[in-house]
Amino acid sequence: MERTFAIIKPDAFAAGNAGKIIARIYDEGFKIVGLKKLYMSKVEAEGFYYVHKERPFFGELTDFMSSGPCVVMVLEAEGAIKKWRDLMGATNPAEAADGTLRKEFGSNIGENATHGSDAPETAAFEIPYFFSGLELLA
Ligand code: RTP
Ligand code: MG
């Protein structure tokens, strides 16, 4: 079983879509092994997205991620990393396929409802960034 790290971003949380997204996660067969609401600080968002620190959208992205509460989760499934990215859809909601979360709940390339780890090494950094081992006892 593989684990991935997921966020219901501040746009989707503020719009009241967290419940629908979590229902979809269960429908698709993931096990939720960690889940909490948190309100990230700007510094915490910068640390989380440090791989993007040279990108032109880094300031905008970290402002957005610290603009309100979000839900962070650890999801478990066979091939969880790809399975969750497939369920999220393309980064830009305008290009996301029908039936994906970003198509349904995203607004634009920045405010795109969800985040997911893009590789095992990324998940290995992102999961312990927000969760302790004790919080992930299955
Ligand atoms: P994520 O990391 O959030 O799961 O998204 P992703 O892999 O699909 O996309 P990535 O390239 O890692 O970008 C991270 C997040 O930065 C915002 N973004 N804004 N304004 C822009 O051009 C732009 N490009 C990316 C999005 O919120 C994206 O999810
Ligand atoms: Mg990414």
Nearest CA to ligand 1 atom 8: 91
The terminus-to-terminus CA distance of the chain in angstroms comes to 12
**Domain annotation covers residue 136:** no
**Domain annotation covers residue 6:** yes
Q: Is the dihedral of CA 91, 95, 100, 103 positive or negative?
A: positive
How many C-beta atoms lie closer than 10 Å to residue 103's C-beta?
18
**Domain annotation covers residue 135:** no
Q: What is the pLDDT of residues 80-132, one digit of tens each?
A: 999 999 999 999 999 999 999 999 999 999 999 999 999 999 999 999 999 99
Q: How many domains does the chain have?
A: 1
**Domain annotation covers residue 137:** no
Indicate whether residue 34 lines ligand 1 (CB < 6 A). no
Ligand 1 atom with minimal separation from the 91 CA: 8
**Domain annotation covers residue 51:** yes
| Tokens representing residue 80 in the block | 């969880």
Phi and psi at 63, nearest 5°, equal -65, -45
Confidence check: pLDDT of 54 > 90: yes
Whether this model's ipTM surpasses 0.90 comes out as yes
E runs forming strands in 1-125: 2-8, 31-38, 70-77, 114-116
Secondary structure letter of residue 134 according to DSSP: G
Q: What is the pLDDT of residues 24-49, one digit of tens each?
A: 999 999 999 999 999 999 999 999 99
Which CATH number fits the domain that encloses residue 40? 3.30.70.141
Nearest CA to ligand 1 atom 2: 115
Q: Do 67 and 10 meet the contact criterion of CB atoms below 8 Å apart?
A: yes
Indicate whether residue 107 lines ligand 1 (CB < 6 A). no
Which of 61, 71, 108 maximizes ligand 1 atoms within 8 Å of its Cβ, making it the mutation to test the pocket?
Answer: 61
| Active-site residue, selected from the candidate residues 3, 83, 103, 115 | 115
Residue 93 has a pLDDT of 98
32 SS3 class? strand
**Domain annotation covers residue 138:** no
For the whole prediction, is pTM greater than 0.95?
Answer: yes
pLDDT-derived band at 138 (thresholds 50, 70, 90) equals confident
Buried b / exposed e across 29-42, counting CB within 10 Å, b at 16+? ebeebbbeeeebee
Tell me if residue 115 is catalytic.
yes
CA of 57 to the centre of ligand 2 (A): 13
Q: Are strands 31-38 and 114-116 parallel, antiparallel or unpaired?
A: unpaired
**Domain annotation covers residue 19:** yes
Q: What is the pLDDT of residues 1-24, one digit of tens each?
A: 999 999 999 999 999 999 999 999
Q: What is the pLDDT of residues 71-93, one digit of tens each?
A: 999 999 999 999 999 999 999 99
